[in-house]
Amino acid sequence: MGGSGQWLFALTVLLYLAGAVAYFVHFYFRQWDRLSLWLARAAWVAHSLALLSRVAESRQPPFLTGYEAILFMAWVIFLNYLMLEYLFNLRVVGVFLLPVLFTFMVYAAALPKGAEPDLPAAEYWVAVHAVIALGGYAIFALAFVAALMYLLQERHLRRKDFNVVYQRLPSLETLDGLTYRLVVYGFPLLSLAIITAAIWAREVWGVPWFHEPKALWTVLIWFMYGAYIVARVRGWGGRKAAYLVVAGFMAVLFNLFVVNLVLTQRHVF
């Protein structure tokens, strides 16, 4: 990656850190109201520019290496969050999301950046499949954050710990509903990603999809989120459901970071 790309990436990471701090200060001390909003927006703009400069340089979609995939997914997550923030005024989610994004970016920084994609082809469908999958994961990431907030608030209510965090966090109902809605939006994307992969895997590699460990993991993830939705539809919610969403996203992370490095050759993410 060239100089400007590196520079933009570093700026993005810094802005995420600054944004995380500012959101926390706003959350806890009710200060820096405007500042935190603008830092978050600036982080998103810097992030977008970093992605663009990457694309301009490689002339390929920005998710063919692990580094790019994380960069891209974090960008999609943040885009989704900003829409959420704008539509529902849920800035409190940002307090918990920004540190997660910052961690993503730091992790990405540790990955090799310059590697050329070793895929047979950066073809059109790969891009479609990747965008759908990453979009779904991005929404699950937000659901994960909402579920964590639910568990945190539930813990405060159960332990009768009425501290500042308790006072600032929204109601269980709000967090539970937010988690549910996000999973419901993310689930069709995940399903679509699996279906496209299953069909195209045969065409490209000539092997059935279940020969790929990554695909098996993904199906497991699909079952976890599917079970959550079924449970919720039948009225079963609360703490256990929230744990399921957390576990689901842990599986997503495992899929992205561990399965990739150790078990698979075909997927980069």
Partner 1 sequence: MHIAVLGLSYKTAKVEDRGRAAWTADQLPGALAGLRAVPGVLEGAILSTCNRTEIYAVLERINSRDALLEFWSRQKGVAAKDLGGLCYFREGEEAAAHLMRVASGLDSMILGETQILGQVKESYLLAQDHASIGKVLHELFNKALACGKRVHTETAISQNAVSVSYAAVELARKIFGDLKGRRALLVGAGKMGGLTARHLAENGIDEILVSNRTYSRAEEMAREFGGRAVPFDRLPEWLSQADVVISSTGAPGVVITREMVQQAMRARRFRPLFLVDIAVPPDIEAAAGGLDNVFLYNIDDLEAVVLANLEERAREAQKAERIIAEEVGSFQFWLRSLDVVPLIKSLREKAEEIRQAELQRAFNRLPRLDVREREIIAGMTAVIVNKILNDPTVRVKEFAGGEDAEVYLRAFSLLFNLSNGFPEAAAGDGSGRGAGSVNGS
Q: Which is nearer to partner 1, 103 or 171 (CB)?
A: 171
**CA 213 to CA 266: how far, in whole Å?**
10
Q: C-beta of 155: minimal distance to partner 1 in Å?
A: 12
Shortest distance, position 30 Cβ to partner 1, whole Å? 7
Where do contacts with partner 1 occur on this chain (CB under 8 A)? 30, 153, 157-158, 160, 162-164, 166-167, 170-174, 177, 234-240
Q: Which is nearer to partner 1, 177 or 213 (CB)?
A: 177
Cα distances (angstroms) measured from residue 242 to each of 32, 144, 221, 222, 224: 31, 8, 15, 16, 12
Least spacing, CB of residue 172 vs partner 1, in Å: 5
Compute the least distance from the CB of residue 181 to partner 1, in Å.
Answer: 14
Three-class secondary structure assignment of 171-203 = CHHHHHHHHHHHHHHHHHHHHHHHHHHHHHHHH
Nearest CB to partner 1, comparing residues 156 and 266? 156
Answer yes or no: are the C-beta atoms of 51 and 75 closer than 8 Å: yes
**Number of residues in the chain:** 269
Residues 6 or more apart in contact with residue 219 via CB below 8 angstroms: 194, 210
